[in-house]
Amino acid sequence: MAAPVITVYDRSRTDVSAQELIDSDNLKIVAVSAATNITDYSFKHLVQETLPTPTEWAAAPPEVFYEDLHFFRKPTHQWVRLSVTDALGSNTVKVCGLAGGILTGAPDEPILPRDYVDGMGLGFIAEGDGPDSFEVQENHMVDMKKAGFHHMRLHMGDSDSRGYVRDPDYFDRFDRLASTLLRHGLFLHIGHRSENPEIDDDYDANSGSWTSAEFDTYYAAHHDFHLDWWTQVAAHCRFYSHRLAYHTFLETKGGTAFTSSGARLGSLYDEMTRQIRLIDPARMLIYAPPVRNDITKFDDLGAPYADHDANDGVDTATGTYFFTDHHSGFAGGADWLTDADRAAIDDNLQRVVDFTASRNIPVMLSAISASNAHLNNNEYRAQRALYVQHVVDRLWQVPTHKISMTWLTFTGYYDTSNNRWTTENILFTEQMNGDGVIHPDDTDGDLISNADELTLYHTDPADVDSDGDNVLDTYECDPLYPYMNPNDPSDGDPLGNLEINADYDGDGMPNAWEFHHIFDARDINRGVPSRIDTPLKPADPADAMIDATDGDDIPNLWEYVLDFTPHYNKSVGKNPDDTYDHDNDGVSTEDEIAAGTWARSNFDRDLDGQLNGADPIPYVSDQNHVVFYNFSEPYSAFPADESTQGAGNDGTCVGGAAQVLNSETLLNSLWLDGVDDAVVIPATDLGAASNATAHLFFKPATLAGKQVLFHAGSSEAGMSIYLNATDLYAAVWEGAASSVMRINTVALETNRWYSTGVVFDGDRGTLKAALFGDNMSNPRLNLRTGETSVGLIRTGAVTASLGGAVGGAYTANSEGAPLSWENGNHFEGELDHVALYNRALNESEISLLARTDLVQPIVRPYVNPDADGDGFLSLSLDIAADTFVQRNKPTENYGSGTKLTMREFANTFARIPLLKFDLSNMSSERIYSARLHIYNLTETNSIQAFATGNAWEEDSVTWDTMPAKGALLATASSAIENWIEFDLSDYIASNGVFSILLNETGNNVGNLASRENTEAPYLSIMTTGFDSDQDGITDDWETEHHGSLAVLGRHTDLDQDGVSDSLEFISGTDPDDPASLLRLEAMASVPAFELNWPTVTNRRYAVWGRTNLTEGSWAPASPLLTGSGTNEHWSAEPANPSEFYQIRVRLP
């Protein structure tokens, strides 16, 4: 049986295995076995003049190696004892020595750039410049080599930033790191990194930018410093192996002073090259372009650089030994979420490939993050593994022009304390190493053996996510999660399929997201990730409203809908999730969550093209969202459709359906009387759609008989959701085919809020339904699924309604019972948040729609009920848009600020605020009072309000594009830090859109609070309520006095006092009391004549007069007088022998 063979080579690569002491600059020792694999490699290394004795060898500590070792000449002899054992138990021991001596140059031959890049292959970054940074050990390097990684980049600090050059141990530490790496045949490049205090003094950290003067100051002050640092390094390392390279300019604080100019950085490189070449003529140099993530900017450098003095006998040109680097940008951790993300990455990769092929300059891709994105946001780990595999396949697994890659960072994937690859990140590491393998029996790194994947689970041993649903096979094959299937994508979130995103516990957080965050991926000391006690439990809805582990008091559900990370309190940039104001509205995220407002209004959470602040439902995609009734508008008989994809499908209330204020829901709800009330929905968008979803809240007042909550379609094809006694059903039909499903599992109760979602998926032939109870605080029920043969493409005379089958709908008494076509079946109770989609919503979307602890982000008018019964409503509306423009900066926009800055219009530096009010959804025909309230921060002078046009947008208007100033509307003032009130009643007298501009009158700079401020401006409005039966009496007033709209009328006189009911409404008197009417009493006195009459609030009165009842006409004799609720007195001295008077009353 052949034993393993150990061969020793000298610098010329001559076999010198027979020699005991070898005179060479370096030795390469290789161990191989022809019979089988070598299972154990070890060596001992002693530095002494004489051959070590057996006792000395026995006392020397053993170290490990893998396949080969490299030793370089030192002043003293070095002795090596190697021992290798193969799988058959055969062992070979070899002792050899490297003669001591003095090196006069590098101990090995120069390496051509293409060979260097091919040799270094795939590797890692390590921090090598601090007392607590990474210490390279022999076994670390062995594990790297075994796994297929062949280089490392060390970050090295400079003399001023960290003080290690002054420390005598600085280069000793570097030597330990470098010699260990090089001894194991690995490649090493060192990168200069500085955080110089002097640089910080020049650098404006707040602005994150440099002025031109700062560029020049920095460059002049520190140019020589960089040269000196590299001169020191080159002098110290001149006798190192050529496998050591210099990354000449890397991660230097304030580096934009150099990288802002290719010529400036090129000049620095040129001089660096000269200094290094004077010492080391063939050292490999790596030049990063000025824009480090744009490889084409390499041409801006002027590299390679020429000899500085052709007559001095020393060649200081770059020469052959250089290549370039593609660093930062996408290489530092780009997203891999959408097709656009992938296209951008591929474009970047292709530019690198094209550059190296056309220019024949090798390229390395440095600082690539395999797992960075999933640590700080919600990119699935399976997707990140695909990203890594894609990059490696594109750049390394190619026959020519291979591009080396350096991954961030070694200690993120290797646990140096326990000398092992981190369990949680092996799925990445197995993709990062190309053809390398960490665990041969687990090719994909999903912690399941290849054998089990093939025979037990029937999954793909080369794919961490066999069914592509973004739940790792690690979890789906684990018996802890018996409800998961590794070969069924419907229990996860397969990207690109909006109709699948499973949420088995119905808490709104998808299965895939909960599994993705089931442990803190940044903790490298955890064990098998599916076996830990985690605060996120995919089958437990109670975890939604607790905080996971990051201590920011943001519940897990809110972390999901805000696209935060539950284990990390700095999900977005470097700002704390809780205390930071993510949408710059003056309120921190935690305060917005507590107040029930949206905390990231400038972000598109559901990737539907609508920013959260303008999205009716920001956590559910608006795709095919065709109807949304929120019932938030003030008492409208035509509920506004707030969907973004529908054709303006405002509903029509029939039978007296009315909105009511209900504190259990977000705003108003719709009350239906169970007799003839319903809302007719336009069928414009509810026709030819094979998939459909209906979601709504309902609160039954009674549970007797059938009650239709929703229906859409015709007798040919359609869908209905209805109650039959205490059960809830969904039905779909098409011709003779139908399917009926009972949704609830326990009997429903009256006067409790429920939410239901019914999903018809015609593409898959399924009907799904879910029911959530107790105002969504109870544990959710999984979506129940039933098979169906219905096609549900509704054509012809399609009808749709809420609260009753207007036009007819099919219902059945139970599952399996025959359908019957019936009209009516009206619902008695309340409905709210009705959302209709022409697509099949996924489980997570249904769960999110069911939650009332997620607010709607759009601020809508809040309706105060007509508590005093006077027929008037008081509304408070937020400003639709506000900003200011500045004369001396005519093209700049200031729309996102928290202040409205102002200065008199005629001033050269004038600043003019603009405000816009949107009352287009107001249902009232008349607005009787409109007052702007705006908070005064610093203004000391009077302010004028002028009318202006509406053709401006908050985020784009400038002085040059602002609308013209119109008529003066009002003038007002207040003390600083108080509210200013402008009466705009004559300007805003009906529904519509209105704009004003403000002018400061004292020629001083002042500030008002904008709508982004905590003291946001608002418009207070007084208007009549809605008059659905058009009898001249508001519905609220009629209901207040008689409980319905059927008693009072325009021409009826209920109390027979001679005044019609509609005139009693205008007078504010009681239509059921004949003694309650407007009476005028006269009292004669000399010389004045006095009139008295009773008044009510929210009415205005005027005395009219004339001198003759047969000739002339009535004319005002007094100004308008506002009613106070008491008697009004008016007196005058008649100018004629006879005067006749009447009192007139009007609405305000």
Question: 438 and 421 in contact (C-beta within 8 Å)?
Answer: yes
Question: 535 and 542 in contact (C-beta within 8 Å)?
Answer: no
* pLDDT at residue number 203: 41
* pLDDT at residue number 204: 43
Closest CA to 41 of 190, 146, 132: 146
Query: With bands split at pLDDT 50, 70 and 90, how would you rate the model's confidence at 212?
Result: low
As a whole number of angstroms, the distance between CA 827 and CA 970 comes to 50
Given the structure tokens 């309520």, which residue do they identify? 1025
As a whole number of angstroms, the distance between CA 806 and CA 710 comes to 10
Cβ contacts of 982 within 8 Å, gap of 6 or more:
931, 932, 934, 943, 945, 969, 970, 972
Cβ contacts of 383 within 8 Å, gap of 6 or more:
336, 337, 470, 495
The DSSP symbol for 819 reads P
As a whole number of angstroms, the distance between CA 272 and CA 224 comes to 10
Burial group, residue 13, by CB count within 10 angstroms (0-12, 13-18, 19+): exposed
As a whole number of angstroms, the distance between CA 273 and CA 255 comes to 18
DSSP three-state, residue 27 = strand
DSSP three-state, residue 213 = helix
pLDDT digits (tens, 9 = 90+) for 1092-1128: 888 888 788 888 888 888 888 888 888 888 888 888 8
What are 432's two structure tokens?
Answer: 């990062």
Helix crossing, 169-183 with 212-237: angle to 10°?
Answer: 70
Q: Which strand (E) or helix (H) includes residue 451?
A: helix 450-455
As a whole number of angstroms, the distance between CA 539 and CA 537 comes to 6
* pLDDT at residue number 686: 81
Lowest mean pLDDT among 276-280, 381-385, 685-689, 715-719: 685-689
pLDDT digits (tens, 9 = 90+) for 1027-1037: 666 677 777 67
Number of other CB atoms surrounding residue 841 within 10 Å: 31
User: What mean pLDDT is reported for the chain?
Assistant: 82
Residues 760-786: b if buried by 16+ CB within 10 A, e if exposed: bbbeeebbbbbbbbebbeeebbbbbbb
Pairwise pLDDT comparison (82 vs 677), residue with the higher score: 82
pLDDT digits (tens, 9 = 90+) for 575-631: 777 788 877 777 888 888 777 677 887 777 777 777 777 777 888 988 999 999 888
Task: Give strand ranges (E) for 688-765.
Answer: 691-700, 706-713, 717-724, 727-734, 737-742, 754-761
Question: 423 and 526 in contact (C-beta within 8 Å)?
Answer: yes
As a whole number of angstroms, the distance between CA 798 and CA 812 comes to 20
* pLDDT at residue number 634: 53
Query: Cα dist. 447→425, 463, 465, 835, 960 in Å?
Result: 10, 11, 12, 43, 63
> Does position 778 have pLDDT exceeding 60, yes or no?
no
What are 19's two structure tokens?
Answer: 């020699």
What does the pLDDT average to over 801-824? Answer: 83
The DSSP symbol for 357 reads H
CA atoms within 13 A on the CB side of 249: 31
* pLDDT at residue number 76: 97
* pLDDT at residue number 47: 97
Query: With bands split at pLDDT 50, 70 and 90, how would you rate the model's confidence at 665?
Result: very low
* pLDDT at residue number 130: 55
Largest interatomic CA distance in the chain? 146
Please tell me the pTM assigned to this model. Answer: 0.70
What does the pLDDT average to over 355-371? Answer: 86
The residue length of the chain stands at 1148
pLDDT digits (tens, 9 = 90+) for 471-506: 999 999 998 899 999 999 999 999 878 889 999 888
* pLDDT at residue number 872: 67
Find residue 64's DSSP bridge partners.
Answer: 42
What are 383's two structure tokens?
Answer: 């997707």
The DSSP result for 133-151, as a single string, is S----HHHHHHHHHHT--E
pLDDT digits (tens, 9 = 90+) for 166-196: 455 677 778 888 999 999 999 999 887 654 4
Find residue 918's DSSP bridge partners.
Answer: 993
Query: With bands split at pLDDT 50, 70 and 90, how would you rate the model's confidence at 143?
Result: very high
* pLDDT at residue number 374: 41
* pLDDT at residue number 914: 96
What are 31's two structure tokens?
Answer: 């161990």
pLDDT above 70 as % of the chain: 82
Query: With bands split at pLDDT 50, 70 and 90, how would you rate the model's confidence at 873?
Result: low
For CA atoms 1100, 1105, 1111, 1113, the dihedral sign is negative
Lowest mean pLDDT among 7-21, 212-226, 320-334, 420-434: 212-226
Burial group, residue 61, by CB count within 10 angstroms (0-12, 13-18, 19+): exposed
Query: With bands split at pLDDT 50, 70 and 90, how would you rate the model's confidence at 800?
Result: confident
The DSSP result for 888-951, as a single string, is TSTT---TT-SEEEEB-TTSTT-EEEEEEEE-TT---S-EEEEEEEEEESS--S-EEEEEE-S-
What does the pLDDT average to over 395-414? Answer: 83
* pLDDT at residue number 667: 52
User: What structural domains does the chain harbor?
Assistant: 5-98 (2.60.40), 113-432 (3.20.20.80), 616-857 (2.60.120.200), 872-1024 (2.60.120), 1081-1146 (2.60.40)
DSSP three-state, residue 1096 = coil
As a whole number of angstroms, the distance between CA 927 and CA 985 comes to 8
Distance of CA 444 to the CA centre of its chain: 30
* pLDDT at residue number 134: 55
Task: Fill in the amino acid letter for 178.
Answer: A
pLDDT digits (tens, 9 = 90+) for 234-285: 999 999 999 999 988 765 544 555 655 677 788 888 999 999 999 999 999 9
As a whole number of angstroms, the distance between CA 319 and CA 325 comes to 17
What does the pLDDT average to over 660-664? Answer: 49
pLDDT digits (tens, 9 = 90+) for 966-991: 999 999 988 888 899 999 988 988 77
Question: 493 and 500 in contact (C-beta within 8 Å)?
Answer: yes
Lowest mean pLDDT among 129-143, 451-465, 906-920: 129-143
